[in-house]
Amino acid sequence: MTNAPVLSVRNLTTSFRTGDGWKTVVRNISFDVNAGETVAIVGESGSGKSVTSLSIMRLLAQGSSRIEGEVLLNGQNILALSEKEMRGVRGNDVAMIFQEPMTSLNPIFTIGRQISEVLIRHKGMTQTEARAETVRLLEKVRIPNASSRFDEYPHQFSGGMRQRVMIAMALASKPKLLIADEPTTALDVTIQGQILDLIKILQEEEGMSVLFITHDMGVVAEIADRTIVMFRGDQVEAGATEDIFLRGQHPYTRALLSAVP
Ligand code: ADP
Ligand code: MG
């Protein structure tokens, strides 16, 4: 057994190519996510939260972006891996869910088929095994009448149910780390609460670590053990969530906190 963090980000700096050089939008971000822990990144729109998560997943276009620093996943620096090796990491060690699940689901295939394919491709299951496991995963994310919904298409699900489908798909690869980039932002408030509760339950059941990205301090209070505050590409605060609420110093952190009801 090792106590190494599941994810260790060191001086992550991401720049994009512009007409006359490079523009840095994420600067010297450093944090750890330990086993079983939920860490939140909070910051206003445009502060670099999504670029940080996409850099960790290496999902930015290679020619037009530059990532510096280290991203250690279970101790391995994934910035040094080939694209082929990285595909294996994405399918096995780390999964990501986004704000708008419709963009990640293929509208022309049933949701059962889309989840089954992950299981067949990454877990080597047969068609029959994958079907049974898919129904189990849909039940795990509390989709009512899961087995009868296997053959339905993404548009037949509500926004909240689609996010549950995405979470089921993310769980299919049994990731050690789930990165959730504003997964509740597009949902109604009551549905937001249900999805947050689901992520908390699953984290305990699966022993997963979660990196949760949000602009909402209320969500941070609800879900995160530790919190990183980003402001205009910089990490301006990091610590136990409780300490940040009680003793956050940076003017932007104070502003975020004063907006919490
Ligand atoms: P957040 O998720 O916190 O709202 P982002 O990480 O999406 O913010 O964006 C941070 C900054 O990087 C913004 O100024 C955005 O315009 C810029 N940016 C994001 N993606 C790209 C890209 N592919 N090319 C150039 N600039 C980008
Ligand atoms: Mg974003």
Print pLDDT tens along the chain (261 aa): 457 899 999 999 999 999 999 999 999 999 999 999 999 999 999 999 999 999 999 999 999 999 999 999 999 999 999 999 998 888 788 999 988 766 789 999 999 999 999 999 989 999 999 999 999 999 999 999 999 999 999 999 999 999 999 999 999 989 999 999 999 988 898 999 999 999 999 999 988 999 999 999 999 999 999 999 999 999 999 999 999 999 999 999 999 998 887
Burial of 47 (0-12, 13-18, 19+ CB in 10 A): buried
CA of 30 to the centre of ligand 2 (A): 18
For the complex shown, is ipTM > 0.90?
A: yes
Mutate to test the pocket of ligand 1, among 45, 50, 53, 58 (most ligand atoms within 8 A of CB): 50
Q: Which distant-in-sequence residues (6+ apart) come within 8 Å of 19 by Cβ?
A: none
State how far the Cα of 24 lies from the Cα of 17, in Å rounded to an integer: 9
The residue type found at 218 is G
Q: What is the pTM of this model?
A: 0.94
The answer, yes or no, to whether any atom of ligand 1 lies below 6 A from the CB of 51, is: yes
CA of 66 to the centre of ligand 1 (A): 13
**Residue having the nearest C-alpha atom to atom 6 of ligand 1:** 48
CA of 50 to the centre of ligand 1 (A): 7
Is the separation of the CB atoms in 87 and 57 below 8 Å?
no
The answer, yes or no, to whether any atom of ligand 1 lies below 6 A from the CB of 98, is: no
**What H or E segment, with its residue span, contains residue 38?**
strand 38-42
Q: Which residue shows structure tokens 């699900």?
A: 157
